[in-house]
Each structure stands twice: as C-alpha cells, then as structure tokens.
Amino acid sequence: MLITIPQVLDKAAVRALRDRLDTAQWQDGRQTAGVQSRSVKRNQQLPVDGTEARELGAQVLRALTAHPLFLSAALPLRILPPMFNRYETGQTFGVHVDNAIRVSPLTQERLRADLSMTLFLSEPDDYDGGELVIEDHYGTQAVKLAAGDMVLYPSTSLHEVLPVTRGARVSSFFWLQSMVRSNEQRTMLFDLDQTIQALAERLGSDDAEVVRLTGLYHNMIRLWSEV
C-alpha cells in the first residue's frame, strides 16, 4: 500500500525546519548507505547524531504521531528517528531497496523496516526532477508532494530518486516497524478503519453496525499483531 499523508507539517512548521536546515552543515549521504545502495547514492545528509537532526526529528515525530491517517495506515510499533537529506543539481539516488533491519543511531535498537517514509520539505516548484519513483503492485508511481506532505510505502519496494536538474530537494526520511507485519493485512485493516470512520460520521459512533465493525477491526488486530 502506497499512501499520501497530507499536512503532517503546516507551512509555518516547514518554514521553521527549513530555517535551520538551510544553515546546517551537511555531509556525504553515502556515509549511511548500505553496501548495495552506496554505489547509486549521490546526495547530502544531516549528521544523524547532530543536534539539528535530533531536535528537528523530534518535531517531525510529534506531528506525525498525532496524525490519525498515519496511525490508521501504519499501525506503528517502533519508529526510527527521522533523518534529513538534500539533493542539489545532478544529485540522485538510483534504484535500490531499503535494508530489512535498521539500527537506531541513538539507542542501537534493531528494528524491522516494514514501511518507508519521505516527508517533503521543498515545494514542487522549488526544484525540477527529484521525483521519488516507487515500484509497487500497481506499477511504477512517481511522487513529488507539497512541502509538509508525506508518502508512506512498503520498504520491500524498489525505489529511486530521479536526478535533480534545478534547485534543491530537501526532505526527511525514516522507517518504522508496524504492529502488523503483512502489507496485505495492514491494507485490509486500513480500508476497514476508514470505512468505520465514514459510517460513524454518517450514522453515529453508537450505531449497532458501526459498533460491530469496530469490534471486528480490533479483533483482527489482536489476531494479526506482533505486540
């Protein structure tokens, strides 16, 4: 399941993050790349253990974990600290798949990467190229979102960032381990949850069918979750 999470950050929050990011000291992004992806990765990255990355990452997580659509789609168990990257003219990240196991740079905790996330921090008109291209069951999708919006997609997907040909593309990227390991099961739970919310809005949350479906939803999570 590939889904857009709109307005994780509002425009004022994006501007505040960019004020700090635009004056930060960036490093070669290959320093954190895996063996396969190192050969195709050409970008800049904020040092993961630096003050800016830790403080700005905490701001992103506070906003994200208060977003109901994200919680419904991801069912997060553990989330790695957000990281930040920058692509300038000519920079790119070729086709790759994310590592299955990630290690938190702050706690050294291991996490299974079920879902990958990119939070866009540049407006689409600020740069040319730089689309995030993701291969999924429905074909190849090119993603280029407004600043403050995020795309969530399975970490098993092949993906790439096309070369930037003008301007700079700034974003935050990170991974999570879901309570429900299976992408297919998460998709069904998401569809069911969104249906329940729509019915509750129309019929009321105490409607007998809404209550019955809500019980089914939670029992499915009990069956499938790994908590």
What pLDDT was estimated at residue 105? Answer: 84
Domain ranges in the chain are 3-178, 183-224
Whole-number pLDDT of residue 36:
62
pLDDT higher than 70, residue 109: yes
Mean pLDDT of 186-209: 96
- Cα dihedral angle (149, 151, 152, 156), rounded to 10 degrees? -160
Cβ burial, residue 52 (10 Å; 0-12/13-18/19+): middle
What is the value of pTM for the model shown?
Answer: 0.93
DSSP 30: G
pLDDT tens for each residue of 8-62: 999 999 999 999 999 999 998 776 666 666 678 899 999 988 899 999 999 999 9
Query: What's the whole-number average pLDDT of the chain?
Result: 94
pLDDT, tens digit (0-9, with 9 covering 90-100), for 167-182: 999 999 999 999 999 9
Q: Which residues contact 111 (CB under 8 A, 6 or more apart)?
A: 78, 80, 101, 102, 103, 104, 175, 176, 177
**Under CATH, what is the fold of the domain 3-178?**
Jelly Rolls (2.60.120)
Q: E strands within the chain? A: 3-5, 27-28, 41-42, 44-45, 76-79, 83-87, 92-96, 101-103, 110-112, 115-120, 127-129, 132-136, 139-143, 150-154, 159-161, 164-167, 169-178
- The candidate with the shortest Cα–Cα distance to 63, out of 123, 3, 13, 130, is 13
